[in-house]
């Protein structure tokens, strides 16, 4: 690749070539024009790792903790280094543009992609986004921030009209993008699926051109989310540079028609082409050739310490009565719960990827104690565990063999045209391609053998985007083809899991075959679901057990040990792109298990893994609660390091944990109602609402305990019309080294409109040895510290008057107070 003369290229392009560049050339990239040396750029999902260009059976990658976990570190330097790692991984995979970070707002705890975004607070989200973008782009890779804007829930996400006041849009939903644009200048933006105030964002000229380009000065590239372009002319005129993915569904010939009838002018097309060529020039220094081999890090284990630190530093110690933590390494220990022997490393959907390796909590804990006892206690799976855990290929390798055909089973002319080994019986095939396989309509046989270790009744299940039937020794066990029920699988486009059972004998080998038809064969179709060429299938299975008996076994185990760790929570099955959670509760018998174990063992530690809040009806029954999120490759080691004191916890909640879902400010407006969602809570998202209404929460925004103690003193405030500087002394008054987060909140004393009691405006994390103290200074622009959006003037307003300063280590634990005065009122726009 080499730099291109933008105007010369535009002048040489034929009209058909220009039109072709307005849409993707493939599922994961742009179109090339070889005779003008315009290369195809490669994109890859990148909110918490760089997957590459294959959802299924691609090379592995480093998986970082989820978005809410990264934000829970409150450590911009650490997150910048994480971005640098992602940039390095992108280069190894031949990726020019990393599709992340995701920085939509958690206006409701049950949003399906809440785990993927950073925070309920725009300042925390914006600063974290800027840091990771700086890291990614320091390697020369372009970062594509997403989803611009208000892609905050999954229900009817392509049809929903998010009706939000201009004030809330500016102060809450656009603000993290504004901060990232101001501080890190991402090279690309991705538009959201939804409408904002009546118009889809992908064709919203006011947002894309007037706000993003004209007001904020963005001069980069804007792409649609995948299948998120709904018009040809309108989207081009609004400022959307490219429809993704390719080949085009909406643009293509429709652009030619619009040019012919003059609904669209060629110079408007040229402007979109210029932005694409400019993006090419910005990633030229990478030296990544078109269609480069998709590789991986040369020595992935070298990044294990970095991933382990990210996992541990994101963990939040919510409660530690009686100083049960750190655990004693010499005491008898039991690990109980469904998340103990499974590494819950990521949420679901496009944020998921194949990790280089995984460490489970049980494996991490086993490194600290001489002997650890284990009981599952209960399950928490939504669908049956993947069957590939139990199967082998005909050659004895763990997993299955996938055979691909153009003809359905039973066709006498059927020819196997591709055969692939896979170690997992779950596959999303939207980017599967083979020169001899039809991309639209194809069939697959997934073959394996199953030799049970235990005799008994086994349950099998299958969900599909397409059609599927599961056979064991030729007997039909699961039919998800003849009759199908709409479900939320496969980004919301798939079926419910259908189940069947069969009694199997230990030691006997059974032939297992799944017969799959691609997405065109599916009988039930969900209105508004993401279009999905190829489709996907998931096959699960396990021995049926008595859930109450398993719980009783766990309780008996807990009675006989000194200390218990319960590994509970959710997973990518419950938190995923494509659907929202039905409630905030832990599934299955987890709440019952926690209460029962806590009743027989006073040293019970609950480790919860979820990307967003859960209810805790047992909160007064247990002495310790740890929020461990989805921690990436090293999730088990990060948990164990905190539990046994190798790492002093320093994470702080990136979002409030309400007592109940009914308490959250968006409860009455957290889904699409015939295509409309009214953001009735306005600017009162998260802690802004709980403090304004004086409503109790389970744990407040910014909360997090430590194994040591810190004190704040010597508050000093200096301000003028340009800048605000707040300094203070932080001292570690305990006997362990640790880190504390100084959180700065500001409130306007007198205002003509109602504002939240206080709002986060700055923060700083500092590490201190026992007895050590440091002076911390937080500086910001006065206009960002004081302004609200004045709808009457359609500008930001920084008003004359007094402002209070609150400094603490959570939104409710204020340790120092002060004030400053703004001498005159000003109004402003832009950055």
Phi-psi region of 702 (alpha: psi -120 to 50; beta: other; left: phi over 0): left
Q: Quickly tell me which residue has 């609660």 as its tokens.
A: 625
Closest by CA to 212, choosing from 261, 172, 174, is: 174
Residues 6+ apart with CB under 8 A from 566: 336, 337, 377, 593, 594, 597, 604, 605, 606, 607
Strands (DSSP E) along 518-673, which ranges? 536-543, 563-569, 604-609, 624-627, 657-658
- 624 vs 67: CA distance, rounded Å: 24
Would you say 310 and 639 are in contact if contact means Cβ atoms under 8 Å apart?
no
β-sheet bridge partners, residue 449: 392, 511
Q: Is 323 exposed, middle or buried (0-12, 13-18, 19+ CB in 10 A)?
A: exposed
The token duo for 612 is 């967003």
- 49 vs 658: CA distance, rounded Å: 29
C-alpha dihedral (121, 122, 124, 130), degrees to nearest 10: 160
- 123 vs 139: CA distance, rounded Å: 25
Can 225 be counted among the known catalytic residues? Answer: yes
Closest by CA to 425, choosing from 455, 464, 475, is: 464
Would you say 759 and 742 are in contact if contact means Cβ atoms under 8 Å apart?
no
Closest by CA to 90, choosing from 35, 42, 145, is: 42
C-alpha dihedral (479, 484, 486, 489), degrees to nearest 10: 30
Give the chain's end-to-end CA distance (angstroms, integer).
34
The token duo for 254 is 């429709």
Q: Quickly tell me which residue has 């480790």 as its tokens.
A: 607
Which residue in the list 45, 225, 313, 641 is annotated as catalytic? 225
Length of the chain: 831
Q: Quickly tell me which residue has 């055979």 as its tokens.
A: 403
Residues 6+ apart with CB under 8 A from 343: 355, 358, 359, 360, 361, 635, 636
- 579 vs 528: CA distance, rounded Å: 12
The token duo for 595 is 């209460």
Would you say 820 and 805 are in contact if contact means Cβ atoms under 8 Å apart?
yes
- 307 vs 320: CA distance, rounded Å: 25
Q: H or E element: which one contains 80?
A: helix 76-92
- For residues 231-265, one letter each, b for 16 or more C-beta atoms within 10 angstroms of the residue's C-beta and e for the rest, the string is bbbbbbbbbbbbbbbbbbebbbebbeebbeeeebe
The token duo for 548 is 């109450």
- Look at strands 795-798 and 624-627 and give their pairing: unpaired
Tally of CA atoms within 13 A in the half-sphere of 543 that contains its CB: 14
- 778 vs 107: CA distance, rounded Å: 27
Which residue intervals of 610-672 are DSSP H helices?
635-643
CB atoms within 10 A of CB 3: 11
Which residue intervals of 644-698 are DSSP H helices?
687-692
- 485 vs 468: CA distance, rounded Å: 13
Instruction: Please identify every residue annotated as catalytic.
Output: 225
């Amino acid at each position: 690749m080499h730099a291109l003369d933008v105007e010369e290229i535009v002048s040489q392009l034929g009209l058909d070539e220009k039109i072709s560049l307005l849409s993707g050339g493939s599922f994961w990239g742009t179109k090339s024009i070889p005779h003008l040396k315009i290369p195809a750029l490669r994109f890859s999902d990148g909110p918490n790792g760089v997957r590459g260009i294959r959802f299924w059976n691609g090379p592995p990658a480093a998986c970082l903790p989820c978005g809410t976990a990264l934000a829970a570190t409150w450590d911009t330097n650490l997150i910048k280094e994480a971005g640098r790692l992602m940039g390095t991984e992108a280069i190894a995979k031949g990726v020019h543009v990393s599709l992340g970070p995701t920085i939509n707002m958690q206006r409701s705890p049950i949003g399906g992609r809440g785990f993927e975004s950073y925070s309920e607070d725009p300042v925390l989200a914006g600063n974290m986004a800027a840091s990771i973008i700086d890291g990614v782009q320091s390697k020369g890779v372009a970062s594509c921030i997403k989803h611009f804007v208000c892609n905050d829930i999954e229900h009817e996400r392509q049809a929903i009209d998010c009706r939000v006041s201009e004030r809330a849009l500016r102060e809450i939903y656009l603000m993290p993008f504004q901060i990232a644009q101001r501080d890190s200048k991402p090279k690309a933006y991705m538009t959201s699926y939804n409408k904002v105030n009546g118009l889809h964002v992908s064709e919203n000229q006011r947002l894309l051109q007037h706000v993003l380009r004209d007001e904020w000065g963005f001069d980069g590239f804007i792409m649609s989310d995948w299948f998120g372009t709904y018009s040809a002319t309108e989207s081009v005129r609004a400022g959307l540079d490219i429809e993704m993915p390719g080949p085009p569904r909406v643009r293509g010939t429709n652009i030619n028609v619009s040019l012919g009838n003059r609904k669209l002018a060629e110079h408007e097309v040229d402007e979109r082409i210029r932005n694409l060529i400019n993006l090419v020039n910005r990633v030229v220094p990478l030296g990544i050739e078109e269609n480069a081999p998709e590789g991986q890090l040369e020595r992935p284990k070298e990044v294990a310490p970095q991933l382990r630190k990210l996992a541990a530093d994101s963990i939040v110690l919510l409660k530690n009565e009686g100083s049960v933590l750190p655990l004693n390494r010499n005491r008898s220990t039991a690990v109980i719960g469904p998340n103990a022997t499974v590494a819950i490393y990521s949420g679901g959907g496009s944020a998921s990827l194949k990790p280089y390796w995984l460490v489970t909590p049980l494996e991490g804990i086993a490194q600290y104690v001489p002997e650890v006892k284990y009981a599952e206690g209960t399950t928490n799976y939504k669908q049956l565990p993947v069957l590939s855990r139990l199967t082998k290929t005909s050659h004895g390798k763990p997993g299955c063999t996938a055979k691909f055909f153009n003809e359905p089973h039973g066709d006498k002319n059927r020819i196997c045209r591709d055969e692939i080994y896979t170690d997992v019986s779950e596959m999303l095939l939207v980017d599967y391609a083979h020169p001899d396989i039809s991309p639209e309509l194809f069939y697959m046989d997934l073959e394996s053998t199953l030799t049970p270790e235990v005799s008994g009744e086994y349950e099998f299940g299958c969900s599909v985007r397409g059609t599927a039937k599961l056979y064991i020794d030729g007997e039909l066990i699961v039919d998800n083809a003849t009759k199908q029920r709409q479900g939320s699988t496969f980004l919301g486009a798939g079926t419910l899991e259908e189940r069947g059972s069969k009694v199997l004998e230990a030691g006997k080998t059974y032939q297992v075959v799944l017969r799959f038809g691609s997405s065109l064969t599916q009988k039930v179709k969900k209105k508004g679901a993401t279009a999905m060429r190829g489709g996907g299938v998931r096959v699960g299975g396990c021995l049926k057990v008595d859930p109450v008996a398993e719980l009783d076994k766990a309780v008996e185990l807990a009675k006989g040990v000194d200390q218990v760790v319960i590994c509970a929570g959710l997973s990518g099955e419950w938190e995923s792109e494509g659907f929202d959670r039905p409630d905030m509760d832990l599934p299955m018998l987890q709440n019952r298990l926690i209460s029962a174990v806590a009743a027989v063992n006073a040293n019970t530690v609950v480790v919860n893994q979820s990307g967003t809040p859960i209810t805790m009806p047992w909160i007064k029954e247990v002495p310790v609660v740890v929020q461990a999120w989805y921690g990436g490759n090293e999730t088990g080691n990060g948990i164990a390091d905190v539990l046994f004191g190798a790492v002093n916890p320093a994470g702080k909640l990136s979002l409030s944990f309400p007592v109940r879902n009914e308490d959250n400010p968006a409860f009455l407006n957290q889904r699409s109602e015939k295509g409309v969602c009214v953001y009735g809570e306005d600017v009162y998202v998260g802690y802004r609402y709980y403090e304004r209404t004086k409503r109790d929460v389970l744990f407040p925004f910014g909360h997090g305990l430590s194994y040591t103690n810190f004190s704040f003193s010597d508050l000093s405030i200096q301000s003028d019309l340009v800048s605000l500087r707040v300094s203070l002394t932080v001292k570690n008054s305990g006997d362990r080294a640790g880190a504390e987060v100084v959180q700065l909140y500001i409130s306007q004393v007198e205002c003509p409109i109602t504002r939240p009691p206080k709002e986060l405006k700055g923060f700083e994390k500092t590490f201190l040895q026992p007895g050590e103290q440091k002076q911390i200074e937080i500086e910001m622009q006065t206009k960002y510290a004081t302004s609200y959006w004045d709808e009457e003037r359609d500008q930001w307003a920084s008003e004359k008057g007094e402002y209070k300063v609150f400094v603490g280590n959570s939104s409710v634990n204020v340790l120092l107070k002060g004030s400053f005065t703004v001498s005159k009122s000003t109004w402003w726009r832009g950055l």
